[in-house]
């Protein structure tokens, strides 16, 4: 069945989740992060994901912005970073994360090819709106769908169903891109044609169903989509 819509995870796929810590370290006064920012970013992201999974299993949904703050608080404490001003700086930067360089161009290419484009994310609506505005990609997206509308985090089936409902397509007509292997494999199990954006060269997760394709960036994904379905 031909692909009609390309749906993207947001954090780590379109937006660089390490950018907040990296940019804070590079800014004036960021000397305390000069050596520790990669470890801080890694811990922050890991806890953000872990807390979303635990809340999904426990049926204990809260907005992803609070999950993001909880993950940061754990990471700051673990790495001995106690400056309250740093916390606020990092959260402010997270609201306007850098998009990966290829993102605006590939979204435009997909739109020019006649495909619908959308985000499907754990992110809260306000978080997604801020990131999209900061990246300047609102005009090449047909929608940004938040789990807020279903009250549970990925990889619950209700999240993937949201993309079908909002775009008016079937799962087989969706090409789904995620940098999170577990997200790509669960979306594949759900019925999407999935692409794992394996930026870190990691092994395949042993859950869900194998993705249709594995790539190391989003560059060239318009040509890739033409061969899917």
Tell me whether residue 16 is one of the annotated catalytic residues.
no
Tell me which of 9, 16, 109, 183 is the catalytic residue: 9
CA distance 14 to 182: 17
Adjacent-strand bridge partners of 174:
5
Nearest to residue 212, comparing CAs of 180, 179, 175? 175
Q: Return the SS3 of 66.
A: helix
What is residue 216's DSSP assignment?
S
Cβ within 8 Å of residue 107, ≥6 positions away: 117, 137, 140, 141
Q: Which residues are catalytic?
A: 9
């Amino acid at each position: 069945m031909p692909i009609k819509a390309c749906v993207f995870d947001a954090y780590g796929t379109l937006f660089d989740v390490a950018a907040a810590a990296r940019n804070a370290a590079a800014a004036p006064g960021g000397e305390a992060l000069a050596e520790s920012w990669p470890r801080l970013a890694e811990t922050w992201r890991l806890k953000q994901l872990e807390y979303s999974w635990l809340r999904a299993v426990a049926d204990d949904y809260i907005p992803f912005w609070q999950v993001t703050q909880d993950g940061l608080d754990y990471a700051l404490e673990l790495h001995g970073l106690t400056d309250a001003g740093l916390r606020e700086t990092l959260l402010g930067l997270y609201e306007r994360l850098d998009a990966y360089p290829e993102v605006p161009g590939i979204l435009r290419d997909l739109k020019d090819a006649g495909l619908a484009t959308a985000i499907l994310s754990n992110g809260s609506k306000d978080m997604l709106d801020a990131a999209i505005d900061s990246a300047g990609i609102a005009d090449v997206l047909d929608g940004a769908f938040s789990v807020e509308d279903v009250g549970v985090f990925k990889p619950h089936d209700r999240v993937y169903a949201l993309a079908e409902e909002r775009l008016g397509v079937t799962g087989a007509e969706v090409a789904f891109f995620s940098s999170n292997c577990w997200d790509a494999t669960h979306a594949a199990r759900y019925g999407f044609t999935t692409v794992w954006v394996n930026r870190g060269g990691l092994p395949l997760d042993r859950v869900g169903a194998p993705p249709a394709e594995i790539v190391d960036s989003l560059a060239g994904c318009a040509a890739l989509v033409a061969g899917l379905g």
